[in-house]
Chain A
């Protein structure tokens, strides 16, 4: 079956620090990969996505590259801001009925 593994959290960084959040996956077929973000008190929002190997998703300064050889989709940002404090979920879909398989999520806190 499908599964997503995220690095353990929480993560606390100072403003302008470099961010990496690791995500690896196991899937049948050729999944699409996603990063979702959940700000305090809100629902999940799609942050970025990649639908095939070597694709790079990007949004709001965040980037992630679909690496089929390492089955990974690590999230990176060069300079985090306080407003990036949130919970980040890695997820995949193999396209059947819009079903998403999520990782456990990781809480990011950014200090001024």
Chain B
């Protein structure tokens, strides 16, 4: 049972480049979300999805796009990377809309130069 899988683990981008952070879960979870973790600021919610075809914004959505075409996958897209997006990104999922049953991936460390 792989749980929540994030790729890549590390990435370096130049300002203005685009990329997609991948997140996949094999637990048939309806709810998925993306957080970013910055030093001294804890984790902040970027976007979330309550099921295939449904997404919504979290606390810090600017500069990020998401889509949810399947239950398993929830990619996070940076269309034009900025240094302010240097962070560690975590994907999370749960079977139902309950914070008590969230599973987190191991994270993607992104640096934007």
> Which residues on A are within 8 Å of B, measured CB to CB?
4, 32, 34, 41-46, 49, 51, 89, 91, 93, 95, 97-100, 102-105
Given A43-B105, A97-B50; 17 other pairs, CB 8 A cutoff: A32-B99, A43-B104, A44-B90, A44-B104, A46-B102, A89-B43, A91-B42, A91-B43, A95-B99, A97-B31, A98-B94, A98-B98, A98-B102, A99-B48, A99-B99, A100-B45, A103-B42
Complex: A51 Cα to B98 Cα, angstroms: 12
Which of A43, A49, A95, A102 is the one whose CB lies under 8 Å from B44? A102
SS class of chain B's interface: helix, strand, loop or mixed?
strand
Question: CB-CB < 8 A to A104: which residues of B?
Answer: 40-42
Question: CB-CB < 8 A to B105: which residues of A?
Answer: 43
A-B contact pairs, 26 of them (CB 8 A): A4-B42, A32-B99, A32-B100, A34-B100, A43-B4, A43-B105, A44-B90, A44-B104, A45-B104, A91-B42, A91-B43, A91-B99, A97-B31, A97-B48, A97-B50, A98-B31, A98-B33, A98-B48, A98-B94, A98-B97, A98-B99, A99-B58, A100-B35, A100-B43, A102-B43, A104-B40
Given A41-B106, A97-B48: A46 and B42 within 8 A (CB)?
no
How large, as a class, is the contact surface on chain B? 20 to 34
Question: CB-CB < 8 A to B94: which residues of A?
Answer: 98
Question: CB-CB < 8 A to A105: which residues of B?
Answer: 37, 42
